[in-house]
Amino acid sequence: MILNTLRYGGTCRVPAVPDTPALAVDNLTFSYPGADGPVLETVNLLVHPGDRVALVGPNGAGKSTLLKLILGLEQQRTGTIDVYGHPAHTCLHRVSIVPQRTSVDWQFPVTVRNVVTMGRYVHLGWFKRPRSEDKDRVQDALEAMEIADLADRQIGELSGGQQQRVMLARTLAHDADLMLMDEPLNHVDISTQELMFHTLERLTSAGKAAVVSTHDLGILTVHFNRAVFLDRTIIADGPVEDVLTPETIAKAYGFEFHKNYPHQNHTPSEAPR
Amino acid sequence: MISPLLAAIVEPLSYTFVLHGLLAGLLAALACATLSPFVVWRGMAFVGDALAHAILPGIVVAFALGISLFFGALGAAVLAVAGIGLFSGGGRLKEDTAIGVIFAGFFALGIMLLSRMVSYQDLSHILFGNILGVSTKDLASMAVVVLIVILTVALSFKEIVVTSFDPSHSVAIGLSPDLIRYGLLMLLALTTVVAIQTVGVVLVLALLVTPGAAASMISRRMSRILFWSVLFSVAATVTGFYTSYYWDIPSGSAIVLTLTVIFLVTWTVSAAFRHRHARGPRSARGPR
């Protein structure tokens, strides 16, 4: 029962086990209740601190489901998911999410600063208001994402790129060690993309890990050090240049790749700069 | 020297039952207006209305047995919410379908029990409210409910907002959106019992939706929306109450109509404002 397994605002008593993967998914199989077959089948994945992993695959490949299972949004039944040496959800401070744009109500009456402050809630818990330390962290995150001047705006007034910066600022305020992002690149302008990747590079070189789901193959070559092709199970996994071959792309997107994704036909060669 | 206006305001309150009525109205206004912004922004209008109707059998049974209406209503609300969860669980039915089935079934049961157990007079009081029939004991229990609602919302404001806005992030930080949702439904059920006294089952929805809707026309921040919602609700209750007293119209209808007028005014002002400043915010937004 999901109510029992969640502990909000608790302190993180277990230290990260040294020299363990940031994320270890072992033999994970998952199907939605009432569905015909599994969405994910014997998925094995290791993400190490410092990794910047692109999770690639066609729509319905199970990318979001995998992220949801790591977060605990869906209950896992077979296989194990470990985060820094402990079962997932042992320590909620360590994992953050940038959710898919459509899962958030952008018209909701909250300001940019309100949303970024939500990244601190995991450190606060019930009844506690943000302390001055939390406010400083929020301000730092706003400045890092260059949206400090928008802090008092309602989030619906922002452009798509600005909204995604707000979500990334919230992840910065959360201060997690494993950052999950579900399609953060949709409807995002180039300068926001650059800022996002710059920030990700800074964080991962400091030892954090990031798993970013995307169906935009063009950005892979420059911005990630590893790509994982997922289509129900892992089709290819390795350094971007090894993984990004016409064979793996055709396999990941099936033989109808050219039919279904004509606009992405040339994307790999159009990699920005 | 007392002005005639002041006299007109104070004079009715010299009757205890009128004073009690006004206090009951204000308590209902406070509880409803506190929940209203969340009802509006979480899209809980339908479930709120359903709950208001679904507690009818609980109230009738409690009335007939001579026990506290609150426990009767709360019992029925718990059953209704559990039923909605049961029928919509597992994805076999959409939630609003489950709500519709439960809502109509419970209300029909309530009507049947009413016809067997209590008089037509009582029926009309439950359906349309009886603001002038409030006892001191009623007032005390209403005040307790209002206190519970306000304290709960004040203490878990940030949790209610984060689960409403971004359920994924809530789960990621260990905060269950279901817990907050069921908690809010229970508060709605309690609040409905308070509001039934003043506006009745049929018009409770107005107190739960209209103040938050009007407040949302003039601010885009939850804390300010909450403030305006309470202000509008209290103002409408006082205005409606005196209108009802001097013009001899039903109090529930007077209060709800006043609220509706407030909404229409805020909507018009906000539409006019947006039209006039249409270019303002957009050009300020600019490309990034």
Which residue segments constitute the domains of chain B, with CATH numbers given?
4-277 (1.10.3470.10)
Asked whether residue A263 carries a pLDDT value surpassing 70, the answer given is no
Q: Which amino acid is at A192?
A: T
Query: Is A19 or A200 the better-scoring residue by pLDDT?
Result: A200
Asked whether residue B106 carries a pLDDT value surpassing 80, the answer given is yes
Tokens of B144: 């307790």
Asked whether residue B166 carries a pLDDT value surpassing 50, the answer given is yes
B172 touches chain A (CB under 8 A): yes
Q: Whole-number mean pLDDT of chain A?
A: 81
B90 touches chain A (CB under 8 A): yes
Torsion angle of C-alpha atoms A238, A241, A244, A248, degrees rounded to 10: -50
Q: What percent of chain B has pLDDT over 90?
A: 35
Mean pLDDT value of segment A222-231: 84
Asked whether residue A256 carries a pLDDT value surpassing 50, the answer given is no
CA dist., res. B163 & res. B272, Å (int): 33
Min Cα–Cα distance to chain A from B220, Å: 5
Q: What is the pLDDT of residue B231?
A: 96
List CB contacts (< 8 A) between A83 and chain B: none
CA closest to A75 among chain B residues: B171
For chain A, the domains span 20-261
A118 touches chain B (CB under 8 A): yes
Contact A34 B91 (CB under 8 A): yes
Q: Which of A83-87, A155-159, A234-238, B211-215 has the lowest mean pLDDT?
A: A83-87
* DSSP class of A150: G
- Give the confidence band of A117 by pLDDT, cuts at 50, 70, 90: very high
Contact A2 B219 (CB under 8 A): no
Residues 153-172 of A with CB under 8 A from B: 154, 156-159, 161-162, 170
Q: What percent of chain A has pLDDT over 70?
A: 85
A106 touches chain B (CB under 8 A): no
Mutate to test the interface with A, among B42, B156, B171 (most CBs of A within 10 A): B171
Kindly give, in sequence order, each residue whose CB lies less than 8 Å from that of residue A255, ignoring residues fewer than 6 positions away: none
Q: Which of A21-30, A245-254, B19-28 has the lowest mean pLDDT?
A: A245-254
CA dist., res. A223 & res. A240, Å (int): 9
Distances (CA, A) of A122 to A93, A134, B170, B176: 6, 11, 9, 12
Mutate to test the interface with B, among A105, A187, A190 (most CBs of B within 10 A): A105
Whole-number CA gyration radius for chain A: 19
B276 touches chain A (CB under 8 A): no
Q: What is the pLDDT of residue B132?
A: 78
Highest mean predicted confidence (pLDDT) among A27-41, B44-58, B150-164: B150-164
Asked whether residue B243 carries a pLDDT value surpassing 70, the answer given is yes
Q: What is the pLDDT of residue A273?
A: 38
Helix (H) or strand (E) holding B36: helix B16-41
Contact B166 A95 (CB under 8 A): no
CB pairs under 8 A between A and B: 112
pLDDT digits (tens, 9 = 90+) for B7-42: 888 888 888 888 888 999 999 999 999 999 999 999
pTM of the model as a whole: 0.83
CA closest to A118 among chain B residues: B162
Q: Which of A214-228, B8-22, B42-56, B171-185 has the lowest mean pLDDT?
A: A214-228
List CB contacts (< 8 A) between B166 and chain A: 99, 103-105, 115, 118
Contact A97 B176 (CB under 8 A): no
* DSSP class of A215: S
Q: What is the pLDDT of residue A264?
A: 45
Contact B161 A89 (CB under 8 A): no
Q: What is the pLDDT of residue A83?
A: 84
Mean pLDDT value of segment B82-102: 83
Asked if A268 and A262 touch (Cβ cutoff 8 Å), the reply is no
B225 touches chain A (CB under 8 A): yes
Q: Whole-number mean pLDDT of chain B?
A: 85
Kindly give, in sequence order, each residue whose CB lies less than 8 Å from that of residue B191, ignoring residues fewer than 6 positions away: B28, B31, B32, B35, B145, B149, B208
- Give the confidence band of A68 by pLDDT, cuts at 50, 70, 90: confident
CA closest to B179 among chain A residues: A3
Q: What is the pLDDT of residue B8?
A: 83
Query: Is B114 or A137 the better-scoring residue by pLDDT?
Result: A137
Q: What is the pLDDT of residue B26?
A: 93
Asked whether residue A70 carries a pLDDT value surpassing 60, the answer given is yes
Q: What is the pLDDT of residue A12?
A: 66
Contact B165 A162 (CB under 8 A): no
Contact A3 B225 (CB under 8 A): no
Mean pLDDT value of segment B208-234: 94
Q: What is the pLDDT of residue B258?
A: 95
Highest mean predicted confidence (pLDDT) among B35-39, B75-79, B185-189: B35-39
Mean pLDDT value of segment B146-167: 92
Tokens of A186: 């949709």
Q: What is the pLDDT of residue A13?
A: 64
Q: What is the pLDDT of residue B3?
A: 82
Q: What is the pLDDT of residue A245?
A: 76
Q: What is the pLDDT of residue A258?
A: 45
B175 touches chain A (CB under 8 A): yes
Min Cα–Cα distance to chain B from A258, Å: 33
A1 touches chain B (CB under 8 A): no
CA dist., res. A34 & res. A12, Å (int): 36
Asked whether residue A92 carries a pLDDT value surpassing 80, the answer given is no
Mutate to test the interface with B, among A73, A96, A162 (most CBs of B within 10 A): A73
Q: Which of B168, B221, B285 lies nearest to residue A73, judging by beta carbons? A: B168
What is the DSSP secondary-structure string of B214-276? HHHHH-SSHHHHHHHHHHHHHHHHHHHHHHHHHHT--HHHHHHHHHHHHHHHHHHHHHHHHHH
B277 touches chain A (CB under 8 A): no
Q: What is the pLDDT of residue B217?
A: 94
Q: Which amino acid is at B29?
A: A
- A20-261 has which fold? Rossmann fold (3.40.50)
Nearest in space to A176 (alpha carbons), one of A84, A92, A101: A92
Q: Which of B37, B165, B216 lies nearest to residue A104, judging by beta carbons? A: B165
Asked whether residue A261 carries a pLDDT value surpassing 70, the answer given is no
Q: What percent of chain B has pLDDT over 70?
A: 92
CA closest to B41 among chain A residues: A108
CA closest to B180 among chain A residues: A3
Asked whether residue B279 carries a pLDDT value surpassing 60, the answer given is no
Q: Which amino acid is at A175?
A: D
Mean pLDDT value of segment A112-133: 89
B97-100 CB contacts, 8 Å cutoff, 24+ apart: B99/B46, B99/B47, B99/B50, B100/B50
Q: Which of A7, A127, A157 lies nearest to residue B155, judging by beta carbons? A: A127
Q: What is the pLDDT of residue B285?
A: 39
Asked whether residue A89 carries a pLDDT value surpassing 80, the answer given is no
Contact B41 A109 (CB under 8 A): yes
Contact B165 A118 (CB under 8 A): yes
